[in-house]
Structure 1
Amino acid sequence: MKYMLLIYNNAESRKAIEADMDTVMAKVDELMDELRASGEFVGGMALTESSRTVKVRDGVPIVTDGPFLEAKELMAGYLTVDVDSMERATEIAARWPDAALCAMEIRPVIDEVK
């Protein structure tokens, strides 16, 4: 089953990452190497802090910028894995550095868009 691991950070966790970038990236690289070797890695990307929200009301798109730095947590990226269970996805998320510095969210993927 595929799971999307959503990576969150905040101002404090970003400072911690920047202060110890080599160690954080070494942990990420080690985990990514394991996931690639096991065939569990599907994909993933880091995201910028800028985004846009689109809502359509009465047929009219309403576009706003955000989230802003006032937000407590921002989505920093995502990782998609194909693993046997939610427990395995949880194990992977717990090893990701952002889990210790801010948060990781795990969501089962229902179906792939074709």
Structure 2
Amino acid sequence: MKDVLPLTTVSIDGLNKLFNHRTRMGIMAILLVNDWVDFVSLRDALDLTDGSLASHLKALVKEEQIEVEKKFVEDKPKTSYRATPEGRKAFEAHLAELESFIRRIDN
């Protein structure tokens, strides 16, 4: 029988629960490297239904991580999103914590 090494306690307190869902992570990752991104582009890039994307966007808007712009282009409504400065900072901190967590458990 192999010796089992004791597990080290690793805190995940620094992770932002808002970004723990893969869809919200995907939204934030796209918005971090782009200025404004329209709803259809986000939906297609993440391969989501309109309803699923809308619910995740609503949660991020409510928490002021992203902002929304609604306008008409050639008489058609166009809704676009971008990360707020607070959202950028929070997501970057979340990613840094994830990287730190992976380094700790990988050693």
TM-score (norm 1): 0.30
Q: Which has the higher strand share?
A: 1
Q: Which has the higher helix share?
A: 2
Greater radius of gyration (CA): 2
Higher RCO (C-alpha under 8 Å, 6+ residues apart) = 1
